[in-house]
Amino acid sequence: MISEQQKREVAEMYQGEVYGEAFYCALLHLFHTPVQKHLIGSLLQLETETKARLRQVVFEHGGDIVESDASRNDARAFIRRVEHMSWTEATTYMVAASVEFQDRYREIIESVPKALKPVINSMIQHEDLIIAAMKLASEGEDEKAIELVSGQLMLPLPDPPAHAAPLPTR
Ligand SMILES: [Fe+2]
């Protein structure tokens, strides 16, 4: 049995992924090269998969699994901060934003019962992955960032047509 506050904290992480999905969807409108789209799409996929895992936990503890429009609106408001940035500036900025999420999860893990620690730890690692991928992207290593994120996905995105090997001709 977890407390009402812990229930809210788990729901907060779930809504964080709703926020993340809306954020990467909005980001897809800003950056258009095949590699940028592949990385953003993979991060979107990561948020979706993480959200699905958290949905189980929220539901298990009797929390609300309705996805909040407020979370989506917050993400769209945040995107205005990066819309005039270059790819390098935006990815650097996103490292800092992910660190903030991670700091919050580190705070939450302190007070939760043992049974919840693994899922919250996995959220801290989730932010580690995003931070590492965004750092690589900010250093011009977009392909490595895609590889890193794709390696953690259950349903990785296939290479987009621009990168796919040409179809064999007969
Ligand atoms: Fe996330």
164, part of any domain = no
Residue 17 C-alpha to ligand 1 middle, in angstroms?
A: 5
48, part of any domain = yes
84, part of any domain = yes
129, part of any domain = yes
Residue 162 C-alpha to ligand 1 middle, in angstroms?
A: 27
Domain that holds residue 135: 4-150
| Kind plus residue range of the DSSP H or E element containing 162 | none
134, part of any domain = yes
Residue 128 C-alpha to ligand 1 middle, in angstroms?
A: 10
Q: Provide the domain count of the chain.
A: 1
Q: Read off the pLDDT of residues 90-128 as tens digits, 9 standing for 90 and up.
A: 999 999 999 999 999 999 999 899 999 999 999 999 999
Residue 105 C-alpha to ligand 1 middle, in angstroms?
A: 11
Q: Give the whole-angstrom CA distance, residue 146 versus residue 3.
A: 38
Q: What angle do CA 21, 23, 25 make, to 5 degrees?
A: 70
163, part of any domain = no
Tell me the CATH number at 118. Answer: 1.20.1260.10
The answer to whether 9 and 112 have CB atoms below 8 angstroms apart is: yes
Task: Show the low-confidence residues of the chain (pLDDT under 70).
Answer: 162-170
Residue 168 C-alpha to ligand 1 middle, in angstroms?
A: 39
